[in-house]
Chain A
Amino acid sequence: MNCEAVKTCLDLLMDGELTDQQRRDMEAHGRQCPECAEAIRQTKQLKALMEQLEPEVDVPLAAQAKWRGAVREAARQSRKKRLYRWISSAAAAVVVLVGVGLALNARVAPKGVETTQAVLERAVESEAVEEADYADEAEEAAVAYEAEAAEAPARAPAKAAGMSAVAAENAVIEADGAAACDEDDLIEINRSPDAGMCAAVAQKTAAYEATIRVKNVDAACRQIEDIAREYEGEADVRRLEDGGASIYLTLDAVNASDLIAAIAHLNAGEDALELPVQPDDQVLQIMLTVVGE
């Protein structure tokens, strides 16, 4: 394999379509050619990184409301336009009929005009009824949408279904003296009945990550440390090269909502801080990234 062929293989590698034979040939060439070896290594790295970027993202509620509102408005406008078109063509027909009637000066003309007007009125009425129906429909949709929006926080636990899995994985099974175990926390584990020595306490640990934006990173870090202390938690603060910070918080879940509220207070960013804490979470680990404005 030559350098040019390796180049083609790099794309196949990214696409996940490299055959075993091609892979072997490519690696063999790489052992002879440092330049290609470097390109192969970087390609693998790029592929791994790309796979970490999400193909779907949560659409902020504001964005959802924005396009739905715009479409609703467009639908209303096009209805209105259709109604106007109807009226103006009907009105034109009346003008023509009146004109024809006058020109002929026929006795039947007034009756004809009356009839046309009656038809026009009925048409306008029926469009108006339809419009009213549509308004009801739009309102229903709006109500349904708002209900959905209101439901969103309730949905958070469901969204965090993956989280529960993480939490379950993280469940720390601590062997402990039976005397120290609360009966509710006992977990039946496979053990011989006569072992009888210890039961296990499952401490359910859930991990989350979040980003907050602040004016002054230093001050915010100090405040978060204070807040953590206040709620009997731990804060491990690491400063990052870019001036921000990464804070690793560990705390008891019972204090979570108060701590989150206190941190949310510091956040100048737009994204609301909501933590989908599960009722059975006991220990929370929060990876907080602090970004300066």
Chain B
Amino acid sequence: MVVKTEAEVTGPMEESRLIQRAMGGDAASFNTLMEAHERRMYAVALRMCGNHEDAQDCLQEAMLRIYRAISGFKAQSSFSTWVYRITMNACLDELRKRKSRPSTSLDGLLDSGWSPVDGGESPEGHAMRREMRKMLRQYIGELPEDMRAAVVLRDIEGYSYEEIAGILDANMGTVKSRISRGRERLREKIGGRPELFDRPDV
């Protein structure tokens, strides 16, 4: 069995048929439709919240909002942009709500579960790379929310500047400057930890 990507599950025809049925309140069609977006939505939520627990809440909230709003979805805009805009808003609302509470643990950003690794890697190299990824996730988590959202969408999720402007409901200039400043901050943070990041052997 092959893990299906977004494009494979929902060709434009299949997607619009599912959207039509979901608009009529058909929960089964809605589920099928959203399965194609679930993994990326969760990844965005996880990068924004920094832990699995909050990411799960955000995913649920985003799915509910999409389900309730889908009958008003205008077919002329991209469904995926619309979906990620709602997901991002659900995350930002959740983060604002949690601001009054103690900051969430960044431990949830650890790699989890079993996954294949490069068999040729030394244990030290492996541990260092894991540590670097962990620190980078933490630094991303420390960026202001608007900046974080733009950087995550661009540098991890690979959206174009135009798509990001659509998702964040901001103009291109703002998006570009947020991404640029976000990257600059990340560079500074990485530069501040040469003992971890400047290792020629890793």
Contacts and interface: CB of A to CB of B under 8 A. Distances in A.
Interface in B113-127: 113-120, 123-124, 126-127
A216 to B, nearest CB: 16
A2 interface: no
A170 B119 contact: yes
A158 B67 contact: no
A166 B116 contact: yes
Interface in B163-187: 176, 179-180, 183, 186-187
A215 interface: no
Given A66-B56, A271-B113, A246 B126 contact: yes
Given A210-B113, A246-B123, A45 B190 contact: yes
Interface in A155-184: 155, 158-163, 166-167, 169-170
A258 interface: no
A274 B114 contact: yes
Interface string A34-47: 00001100110111
Interface stretch (A18-26, A48-56, A218-226): A48-56
B114 A155 contact: no
Contacts, number: 171
A209 B126 contact: yes
Contacts of B154: 15
B132 interface: yes
Contact of B117 (A38, A209, A240): A209
Contacts of A15: 154
A211 B64 CA distance: 32
A71 interface: yes
Interface residues of B, number: 61
B115 A209 contact: yes
A219 to B, nearest CB: 20
B157 interface: yes
Contact of B187 (A46, A238, A271, A285): A46
Given A46-B183, A50-B155, A55 B40 contact: yes
A162 B2 contact: no
Contact of A11 (B25, B40, B179): B179
A53 B112 contact: no
B119 A56 contact: no
B60 A210 contact: no
A209 B111 contact: yes
Given A55-B156, A70-B60, A289-B127, A138 B27 contact: yes
Contact of A141 (B27, B63, B116): B27
A10 B183 contact: yes
Given A63-B55, A209-B126, A246-B127, A49 B111 contact: no
A155 B183 contact: no
Contacts of A246: 123, 126-127, 130
B79 interface: no
Contact of A155 (B1, B67, B197): B1
8 contacts: A43-B183, A58-B39, A60-B56, A63-B55, A75-B25, A209-B114, A209-B116, A246-B126
Nearest first, the 3 closest Cβ-Cβ pairs linking A and B are A163-B116, A246-B127, A75-B27
Interface of B: 1-3, 25, 27-28, 30-31, 38-40, 42-43, 46-47, 52, 55-56, 59-60, 63-64, 67-68, 107, 110-120, 123-124, 126-127, 129-133, 136-137, 154-158, 176, 179-180, 183, 186-187, 190-191, 197
